[in-house]
Amino acid sequence: MSAILHPPHGPGGLSRRALLGGLGGLGAAALAGCTPVARQVGSGGHGRQGGSLVMAQAEEPNLPTLRQQNNSNTSWSRLVFNSLTQYDHRTYRPRPQLATDWELTDGGRTVVLRLREDVTFHSGRPFGPRDVAENIAYQADEDGAPGQLRSAAAAVADHSVTGRNEITLRLAHGITNFFDLCEIMMIVDHESIAELESGEVINGTGPFAFAGYDPGIAMRFTRNPRYWLAGRPYLDEVELHIDSQPQAIVASLRSGQTDVAYALNGLSRLTVRDDDRLRLIEVDTRDAGYYVGCNVEQEPLGDKRVRQAISWAVDRQKVLDMALQGIGSVTSVPWTPVSPAYSREAAGHYHQDLDRARSLLAEAGVSGARLELAISGNEPGGVRSIAEIVLDGLRAVGLDASITPLQPAEFQQRLGTATLPGLWINGHGFGQLNPATMLNGAYPFNAARNASNFSDPTYLRLAEQVWTTSGQDAARAAYAEVTDFLLDQQFVIDLVSSSVTYATTRALHGCAFTMFNYLVLDEAFLGEG
Amino acid sequence: MLRYLLRRLPVTALVLLLATVPIFAVLRMAPGDPAATLAGPDASPEAVAAIRHDLGLDRSLARQYLSWLGGALHGDFSTSFVNGAEVSGLVGRGLGNTGTLTLCALVLAVLLAFPLGVATALARTARLRTALSALNVVMLAVPTYVTGVLLTMVFSGALRLLPPGGYVPVLDDPVEGAQFLVLPSVCLALPSAAVLARFLAASLQRVFHEEHYFASRMRGLSRRRLILRHGLPNAVGPLVTVLGIQIGHLLGGAVIVEAIFAWPGLGEAMVSSANARDYPMVQAMLLLAVTVFIVLQLFSDLVYALVDPRVREQP
Amino acid sequence: MSEPTGHGATPPETAGGAAAAPGPAGAPATTPPREPHEPHEPHEPGGRHEVDGAAERAPSRGPLRDPVVLGSLGVLVFLALAGLILPSLLPHGPNELVSDRALDGPSWGHPLGTDELGRDLLARVLAGIRVSLLVIVSSVPLALAAGGLLGLFSSASRWLDTPVQRLFDVVLAFPSLILGLACAAVLGSGLTSVIVTVAVAASPVTGRVLRDAVRSQATRDYVVSARVLGVGTWRLYLRHILPNCFDVVLVQAALACATAVFVEGGMSFLGLGVPPPGASLGSLLSTSLNVLTSAPFYAAGPLVVISALVLCFTLLSDALNRTMAAR
Nearest CA in chain C to A409: C185
pLDDT tens digits along B105-122: 999 999 999 899 888 888
Predicted local distance difference test score (pLDDT) of residue B43: 67
- For the residues C56-69, what does the mean pLDDT come to? 62
Please indicate, yes or no, whether residues A490 and A505 belong to a single structural domain of this protein.
Answer: no
pLDDT in tens, chain A (529 residues): 333 333 333 333 334 444 444 444 444 444 444 566 666 554 444 567 888 899 999 888 888 778 777 778 889 999 999 999 998 877 778 899 999 999 888 877 899 999 999 899 999 999 999 999 999 998 888 766 666 677 778 888 889 998 889 999 998 877 777 888 888 889 999 999 888 877 788 999 999 999 988 877 889 999 999 999 988 899 999 999 988 777 778 888 887 888 999 878 778 888 888 888 899 988 877 778 899 999 999 989 999 999 999 999 999 999 999 999 889 999 999 998 878 888 999 999 999 999 999 999 999 988 778 899 999 888 888 899 999 999 999 999 999 999 999 888 888 888 888 889 999 999 887 776 678 777 766 778 888 888 899 999 999 999 888 877 767 788 889 999 999 999 999 999 999 999 888 999 988 998 888 887 889 999 999 887 5
pLDDT tens digits along C153-163: 888 878 888 88
Predicted local distance difference test score (pLDDT) of residue A27: 47
Please indicate, yes or no, whether residues A478 and A449 belong to a single structural domain of this protein.
Answer: yes
Please indicate, yes or no, whether residues A379 and A510 belong to a single structural domain of this protein.
Answer: no
Q: State how far the Cα of A204 lies from the Cα of A33, in Å rounded to an integer.
A: 43
A4 lies in some domain: no
Question: Is the bond into A233 cis (omega within 30 degrees of 0)?
Answer: yes
Please indicate, yes or no, whether residues A444 and A424 belong to a single structural domain of this protein.
Answer: yes
Q: How far does the CA of residue A357 sit from the closest CA of chain C (Å)? A: 19
User: Which of the 8 DSSP states describes residue C114?
Assistant: B
Chains within contact range of chain A (3+ C-beta pairs < 8 Å): B, C
Contact call for residues A228 and A119 (beta carbons, < 8 A)? yes
Residue spans of the domains in chain C: they are 115-325
State which residues form the domain around A84. Answer: 16-280+501-526
Residues forming a β-bridge with C114: C120
CB-based contact, A32 to chain B, within 8 Å: no
Show residues of chain A in contact with C117, CB under 8 Å: 318, 322-323, 385, 388-389
CATH 1.10.3720.10 fits C115-325, yes or no: yes
Q: State how far the Cα of A180 lies from the Cα of A406, in Å rounded to an integer.
A: 35
Residue C254: phi and psi, rounded to 5, are -60, -40
| Sequence-ordered alpha helix ranges (H) in A330-471 | 344-347, 354-363, 382-396, 408-416, 435-441, 457-468
| A85-94, A450-459, B135-144, C32-41: range with lowest mean pLDDT | C32-41
Show residues of chain A in contact with B229, CB under 8 Å: 9
Nearest by CB to C4, from B146, B209, B242: name it: B242
Across the interface, whether the CB atoms of A387 and C276 are under 8 A apart is answered: yes
Please indicate, yes or no, whether residues A20 and A107 belong to a single structural domain of this protein.
Answer: yes
Show residues of chain A in contact with C105, CB under 8 Å: none
pLDDT score of B90 more than 60: yes
| Sequence-ordered alpha helix ranges (H) in C21-105 | 67-89
Please indicate, yes or no, whether residues A161 and A270 belong to a single structural domain of this protein.
Answer: yes
Across the interface, whether the CB atoms of B166 and A415 are under 8 A apart is answered: no
A7 lies in some domain: no
Across the interface, whether the CB atoms of A379 and C271 are under 8 A apart is answered: yes
User: Which of the 8 DSSP states describes residue A61?
Assistant: P
Q: State CA B247 to chain mean position distance.
A: 5
pLDDT score of B103 more than 70: yes
Predicted local distance difference test score (pLDDT) of residue C124: 95
Please indicate, yes or no, whether residues A464 and A517 belong to a single structural domain of this protein.
Answer: no
CB-based contact, C75 to chain B, within 8 Å: no
A92 lies in some domain: yes
Nearest CA in chain B to C46: B141
A9 lies in some domain: no
What is the reported pTM?
A: 0.82
pLDDT score of C205 more than 90: no
Q: State how far the Cα of C45 lies from the Cα of C36, in Å rounded to an integer.
A: 13
Q: β-strands A288-294, A422-428: how paired?
A: antiparallel
Considering Cα of A465, then A470, then A472, then A474, what sign does the dihedral take?
Answer: negative
Q: How far does the CA of residue A366 sit from the closest CA of chain B (Å)? A: 31
Q: State how far the Cα of B61 lies from the Cα of A193, in Å rounded to an integer.
A: 36
Across the interface, whether the CB atoms of B141 and C310 are under 8 A apart is answered: yes
Contact call for residues C213 and C325 (beta carbons, < 8 A)? no
Task: Quote the crossing angle between the two packed helices B144-151 and B232-261, to the nearest 10°.
Answer: 70
User: Which of the 8 DSSP states describes residue A120?
Assistant: B
CA atoms within 13 A on the CB side of A105: 5
Which CATH number does the domain housing residue A20 bear?
A: 3.40.190.10
CA atoms within 13 A on the CB side of C237: 13
Tally of CB atoms within 10 A around B130: 12
Total domains, chain A: 2
Across the interface, whether the CB atoms of C116 and A322 are under 8 A apart is answered: yes
Please indicate, yes or no, whether residues A359 and A454 belong to a single structural domain of this protein.
Answer: yes
Chains within contact range of chain B (3+ C-beta pairs < 8 Å): A, C
pLDDT tens digits along B44-65: 677 778 788 888 888 888 999 9
Q: State how far the Cα of B246 lies from the Cα of B197, in Å rounded to an integer.
A: 12
- For the residues B226-231, what does the mean pLDDT come to? 69
Across the interface, whether the CB atoms of B166 and A12 are under 8 A apart is answered: no
Across the interface, whether the CB atoms of A388 and C286 are under 8 A apart is answered: no
Across the interface, whether the CB atoms of A407 and B275 are under 8 A apart is answered: yes
Predicted local distance difference test score (pLDDT) of residue C145: 93
Contact call for residues A438 and A445 (beta carbons, < 8 A)? yes
Q: What is the mean pLDDT of chain C?
A: 78
pLDDT score of C30 more than 80: no
CB-based contact, B303 to chain C, within 8 Å: yes
Predicted local distance difference test score (pLDDT) of residue A20: 44
Higher pLDDT, C241 or A128: A128
Predicted local distance difference test score (pLDDT) of residue A11: 36
Length of chain C: 327
Contact call for residues B81 and B32 (beta carbons, < 8 A)? no
Please indicate, yes or no, whether residues A276 and A325 belong to a single structural domain of this protein.
Answer: no
A397 lies in some domain: yes
pLDDT score of C55 more than 60: no
Which domains does chain B carry? 32-76 (no CATH), 88-313 (1.10.3720.10)
ipTM of this complex prediction, to 2 decimal places: 0.80
Residues forming a β-bridge with A159: A169
End-to-end CA distance of chain A: give it in Å, rounded.
64
Predicted local distance difference test score (pLDDT) of residue A38: 60
Q: State how far the Cα of A489 lies from the Cα of A457, in Å rounded to an integer.
A: 13
Contact call for residues C272 and C220 (beta carbons, < 8 A)? no
Which CATH number does the domain housing residue A408 bear?
A: 3.10.105.10
Predicted local distance difference test score (pLDDT) of residue A277: 87
A517 lies in some domain: yes
A93-115 exposure pattern, b = at least 16 Cβ within 10 A, e = fewer: ebeebbbeebebeeeebebbbbb
Q: State how far the Cα of A494 lies from the Cα of A316, in Å rounded to an integer.
A: 9
Q: State how far the Cα of A57 lies from the Cα of C170, in Å rounded to an integer.
A: 39
A5 lies in some domain: no
Please indicate, yes or no, whether residues A59 and A160 belong to a single structural domain of this protein.
Answer: yes
pLDDT score of C43 more than 60: no
A259-293 exposure pattern, b = at least 16 Cβ within 10 A, e = fewer: bbbbbbbbbbbbbbeebebbbbbbbebbbbbbbbb
Across the interface, whether the CB atoms of B252 and C318 are under 8 A apart is answered: no
Q: State how far the Cα of A111 lies from the Cα of A129, in Å rounded to an integer.
A: 13
Q: How far does the CA of residue B95 sit from the closest CA of chain A (Å)? A: 15
Q: State how far the Cα of A515 lies from the Cα of B142, in Å rounded to an integer.
A: 50
Higher pLDDT, C195 or C205: C195
Task: Quote the crossing angle between the two packed helices A472-489 and A457-468, to the nearest 10°.
Answer: 150
pLDDT tens digits along B276-315: 888 899 899 888 888 877 777 777 677 767 766 655 555 4
- Residue C18 CB contacts under 8 Å (≥ 6 apart), including other chains: C1, C3, C5, C10
Contact call for residues A366 and A300 (beta carbons, < 8 A)? yes
Query: Between B and C, how many residue pairs show a Cβ–Cβ distance under 8 A?
Result: 183
